[in-house]
Amino acid sequence: MDSRFDHLGLLVRELADGSRVVVSRFGGHVLSWFAGGRERLYLSRNAIADGCQPIRGGVPVCFPQFSSRGTLAKHGFARTRVWSEVPSAAADTIHLRLVEDAESLRLWPRHFALDLHVRLHPQALDVELAVCNTGGDPWSVTGALHTYIRIEDLHATRLLGLEGLRVEDMLCRTFTTSLRDSPDLSHPIDSVYHDVTGPLELRDLRQCVRIEQSGFADAVVWNPGEVAAARIADIGPGEEREFLCVEAAQVQSPVLLEAGQSWLGRQVLRIS
Q: Considering its fold, how many domains does the chain have in total?
A: 1
Look up the CATH number of the domain holding residue 9. 2.70.98.10
Per the residue annotation, which of 168, 240, 242, 247 is the catalytic one? Answer: 247
Percent of the chain with pLDDT over 70: 100
**Under a CB-based contact definition with an 8 Å cutoff, are residues 251 and 62 in contact?**
no
- Over 90: is that where the pLDDT of 265 sits? yes
Give the model's confidence band at 70: pLDDT under 50 very low, under 70 low, under 90 confident, else very high. confident
Beta strand 208-214 with 200-203: parallel, antiparallel or unpaired?
A: antiparallel
Task: Please confirm, yes or no, whether 168 is among the known catalytic residues.
Answer: no
Q: Which residue range forms the structural domain that includes residue 196?
A: 3-271
pLDDT of residue 172: 93
pLDDT of residue 127: 99
**Under a CB-based contact definition with an 8 Å cutoff, are residues 93 and 64 in contact?**
no
What pLDDT digit, counting tens, does each position of 95-134 carry?
A: 999 999 999 999 999 999 999 999 999 999 999 999 999 9
pTM over cut 0.85: yes
Per the residue annotation, which of 146, 239, 240, 242 is the catalytic one? Answer: 146
**Under a CB-based contact definition with an 8 Å cutoff, are residues 222 and 245 in contact?**
yes
Give the model's confidence band at 171: pLDDT under 50 very low, under 70 low, under 90 confident, else very high. very high
Task: Please confirm, yes or no, whether 7 is among the known catalytic residues.
Answer: no
